[in-house]
Amino acid sequence: MKKVLIVGYARSGKAVSLLLNRMGYQLTITDMKEITDKSILENLGIQVFDSGHPEFLIDEKWDFVVKNPGIPYHVPFIKQLLANHQRILTEIEVASWFAKKYQFASITGTNGKTTTTMILAEMLKRQFSDSYAIGNIGIPLSELVYEKGDIDAKISLEISGFQLLGIEGFHPVVSTITNLTPDHLDYFDSLEDYYKSKTLVYRNQSADDWFIRNCDDEAVMMYCQDIPCQIINFSWQHQYDLYLEKGKVYLFKQFLFAEEDLKIVGRHNLLNAIMAAAMAVKMGVTPEQIQLAIRDFHGVEHRIEYVKEINHVKYYNDSKATNTDSTIVALKAFEKPVILLAGGTDKKTGFADLIPYLSKVKQMIVFGDTKEQLKQLKEGTIVVNNLKEAVELAHEIAVSGDIVLLSPCCASYDQYENFEARGKEFKELVAKL
């Protein structure tokens, strides 16, 4: 019986534990936090060590270790496991062993992953009965495999650099890197390491597979070389394999959809839709179904999500914007004056990139751990303690035609469990105005 150590429980840890337990593996789980369903796991024959990582686990002989992707490789416990030459994998890699019939379309990049994943999922859903959006959006692959088994499924998979670092044989039919901009330098040792982690998405692809390449992104073009599969190039400026001409999107001269049918705002979202459509073609979706999905897609929660209009002031929730590039994308999406609410946990990537775009901001209101740093970016910026105060102040000063935009430019962990919780609170606060 193979021995496996699960480091970090959370949702993906739970899912892979249940899957491996069913498959007959001998499991040990360890987590720094208390595991509330410890007794249930122990009744399944799983050994559990919570509220800390016992040091003796480092010297055990494990067939492999499944690490929660959110745990950096530089934390002492993981460093010691690596020093002992332990094989460390990600949950997606392990789940794929039991999903041989699944076909994967894998989406990574700095920004736009979730929107691209969800647009593609809408396209797949129209063509195939068994199609799912999973991965970094919050639903572990292990959870789906545990519930459904090895079925003929079409998967739209959002995958992060954190997850890709633990991949050995995972093989998507089609993949893309939406874009590359500085991020997660609190996790990676260097920007180069971060960028290289994204390129692992196509490492196991073969000649018949596709990689959709954004040729307008300098970092993508610099790092995405020696690709082992067919490359489908896209550019706004050139008529490559995938292109936009007179408001219509084509792949190999076949019409896919019209730009005017896309309801979500911003050129970045058009790019997300173009990439999703090309991936859908490779997965077997017809242009007719792609067009229907484009017309019906209304956006992703927490990503420039329209919330409400009050006294001719529109409120948007962009809580998923956890870096400068995401916030820049959001600011570009609006023509009207913006009252920007920003702040949160410092990811150590800096905020200077934001400055050229703050001319679009009528008033900036900042909160959280980074409030003093953000205050330096724009004269007249107002500092408050939390999101509640920021929303109430924005409501007071907004006039007809303004946009109130929560686009924090920071992670959420100083005051929230995750960006979803932050976005949910924003919507609740707006609803009470």
pLDDT at 188: 83
Residue 428's pLDDT is what?
97
pLDDT in tens, 32-42: 999 999 999 99
User: Which pLDDT score, from 0 to 100, does residue 333 have?
Assistant: 85
Contact 180, 113 (CB under 8 A): no
The better pLDDT of the pair 300, 221 is held by 221
More confident position, 215 or 301:
215
Distance CA 136, CA 178 (A): 15
Please name the fold of domain 3-89. Rossmann fold (3.40.50)
- Percent of the chain at pLDDT > 90 equals 89
What is the C-alpha separation between 395 and 430, in angstroms, rounded? 9
Question: Above 90 in pLDDT, residue 187?
Answer: no
The average confidence (pLDDT) of the chain is: 95
pLDDT in tens, 336-383: 899 999 999 988 888 999 999 999 999 999 999 999 999 999 999 999
Strand segments, DSSP code E, in 167-239 are 174-177, 210-214, 230-234
Spans of all domains in the chain:
3-89, 93-296, 305-432
Q: What is the pLDDT of residue 186?
A: 81
Angle subtended at Cα 67 by Cα 63 and Cα 71, rounded to the nearest 5 degrees: 150
For residue 324, give both structure tokens: 């400068």
User: CA 433, CA 338: separation in Å to the nearest integer?
Assistant: 18
Q: What is the pTM of this model?
A: 0.79
- d(Cα 14, Cα 8) in Å, to the nearest integer? 9
pLDDT computed for residue 298 by the predictor:
79
d(CA 129, CA 202): 26
pLDDT at 87: 97
CA 281 to mean position of chain CA atoms: 22
* Interval 308-320 mean pLDDT: 94
CA distance 232 to 208: 12
CATH 3.90.190.20 fits 305-432, yes or no: yes
pLDDT digits (tens, 9 = 90+) for 123-142: 999 999 999 999 998 899 99
Which pair of tokens denotes residue 119? 């647009």
pLDDT at 10 over 80: yes
Measuring CA to CA, how many Å separate 158 from each of 57, 104, 111, 129, 256?
31, 10, 11, 20, 22
In 316-327, which positions are buried (b, 16+ CB within 10 angstroms) versus exposed (e)? bbbbbbbbbbbb
How many Cα atoms occupy the beta-carbon half-sphere of 70 within 13 Å? Answer: 13
Sorting pLDDT into bands at 50, 70 and 90, what band is 299?
Answer: confident
Coil, helix or strand for 84?
Answer: coil
93-296 CATH, one of 3.40.50.300, 3.90.1150.10, 3.40.640.10, 3.40.1190.10: 3.40.1190.10
